[in-house]
Chains A and B, each alone.
Chain A
Amino acid sequence: KAGVTQTPRYLIKTRGQQVTLSCSPISGHRSVSWYQQTPGQGLQFLFEYFSETQRNKGNFPGRFSGRQFSNSRSEMNVSTLELGDSALYLCASSVTTDTQYFGPGTRLTVL
């Protein structure tokens, strides 16, 4: 089976812009979770989608949003980008609530 794919792999934006990141889960996986990784805060949970519904949400401002499509593909959007949003954004898919399978990540740089 193909693994979790994320696009784009690298992205450079300027403050105030918005960005959309995409994640395609492993075939058959209905749960998709998003994480932000920064040197200062480490790995932090953003949100989880299951069957097109947000099932769990982390402690991030409303500028961070996401959605899931009927084929389980997911997108996350960050509006009004800030310098502090520069991070590696990781997507993970799973069948159960245990083992997560991570994609390679999208490296976002905000200038």
Chain B
Amino acid sequence: SQQGEEDPQALSIQEGENATMNCSYKTSINNLQWYRQNSGRGLVHLILIRSNEREKHSGRLRVTLDTSKKSSSLLITASRAADTASYFCATGGGETSGSRLTFGEGTQLTVNP
């Protein structure tokens, strides 16, 4: 079963614009991760934010985490056509879950040149 929902399910923007994706989850977490998947291929790890962190940056990526609302957001700034992919949030890890990740339903991002 999915941990939560991602919003929106699909997002279409122009190159240079910012893209924001949201993720909600149901249970308490140790950390939350974001992954990217290009066209039915393997997932690529983007960023991990721990439950005691509120915001994290990596290059053009900014992730926020609100544990009181059980939600996270991923912001991609200055989007490029190469950012076109599906983006998934995942929870799990730590002593209780081991390496088991529970994924959201994903957001399909299309960046138009």
Contact = CB atoms under 8 A, between A and B. Distances in A.
Interface of A: 4, 31, 33, 35, 42-45, 48, 50, 55-56, 58-59, 88, 90, 92, 94, 96-105, 107
B42 A102 contact: yes
A90 B48 contact: no
6 contacts: A31-B99, A44-B1, A44-B103, A48-B99, A90-B42, A97-B98
Residue with the highest number of chain B CB atoms closer than 10 Å, among A4, A90, A102, A107: A102
Interface of B: 1-2, 31, 33, 35, 40-45, 48, 88, 92-95, 97-106
A16 B35 CA distance: 34
B2 A98 contact: no
DSSP class of A's interface residues: helix, strand, loop or mixed?
strand
Nearest to B102: A45
Given A42-B103, A100-B45, A56 B98 contact: yes
B97 to A, nearest CB: 7
Contacts of A44: 1, 103
B45 A105 contact: no
A33 B41 contact: no
Which 4 A-B pairs have CB atoms at the shortest separation, nearest pair first? A43-B103, A102-B42, A102-B43, A104-B42
A48 B35 CA distance: 19
